[in-house]
Amino acid sequence: AQRVTQPEKLLSVFKGAPVELKCNYSYSGSPELFWYVQYSRQRLQLLLRHISRESIKGFTADLNKGETSFHLKKPFAQEEDSAMYYCALSSQGGSEKLVFGKGTKLTVNP
Amino acid sequence: GAVVSQHPSWVICKSGTSVKIECRSLDFQATTMFWYRQFPKQSLMLMATSNEGSKATYEQGVEKDKFLINHASLTLSTLTVTSAHPEDSSFYICSARRTGLGEQYFGPGTRLTVT
């Protein structure tokens, strides 16, 4: 069964501090991993996906198949990064339905 | 590009009535659309996968006769909540997958309140 675990419901850091949002997954095949962000009163939007290996808004995430993790990192957090972050998984080449983690609310304090 | 709209954004209805929610991809074609439900301060739960021109695929535990999904064109999918009850009150979100690509684009959501 596909499962995504985000162990931290809430995460609070100070501006300028590094931030890491954890995501672990369970899937028997080759998954596609995504990070979505939802700012206050806005729709869910894609932040990054592992196959593109991009850095968006200073965030990066590396897929670690050995640890089945896809942690989201940013070296210097900004106040505007405060939002809900969801890790999601889909099967490659399948129906591509997304399975979401429960989300982590990140608060960046001034 | 890749904008998804939902209508209405908020609806209040009486128990026992039916409500239709529309999901449109405004500037791209979407062979597949997805319907999610989100409870307050919780994650999104996939309800069903909607494929243009064919029957929707429902997730386990989702009543297909209660949540009717129609995907009649490459830019429109509708979710009809039939005989709504207060426990159906929730935030319903759709997403659309651009034909040929894996990325999903999300609508702004529809808040349904059943009184």
**Residue B56: closest CA among chain A residues belongs to which residue?**
A95
**Does the beta-carbon distance from B106 to A95 stay under 8 Å?**
no
B93/chain A closest Cα distance in angstroms: 9
Q: What are residue A86's DSSP bridge partners?
A: A36
Q: State residue A23's pLDDT score.
A: 97
A95: left (phi over 0), alpha (psi -120 to 50) or beta: alpha
Q: What is the dihedral of CA A90, A94, A96, A100, to 10 degrees?
A: -30
Distance CA A36, CA B36 (A): 15
Question: Which residues of B are less than 8 Å from A44 in CB distance?
Answer: 44, 93, 95, 106
Q: Label residue A93 by pLDDT band (50, 70, 90).
A: low
CB nearest to B46's CB, from A44, A49, A98: A98
pLDDT in tens, B29-62: 888 899 999 988 788 899 999 988 888 999 999 9
**Residue A93: closest CA among chain B residues belongs to which residue?**
B102
Say if residue A66 is exposed, middle or buried (CB neighbours under 10 Å; 0-12, 13-18, 19+): exposed
Question: Which residues of B are less than 8 Å from A99 in CB distance?
Answer: 46
pLDDT in tens, A39-80: 988 899 989 888 777 778 899 998 898 999 999 999 999 999
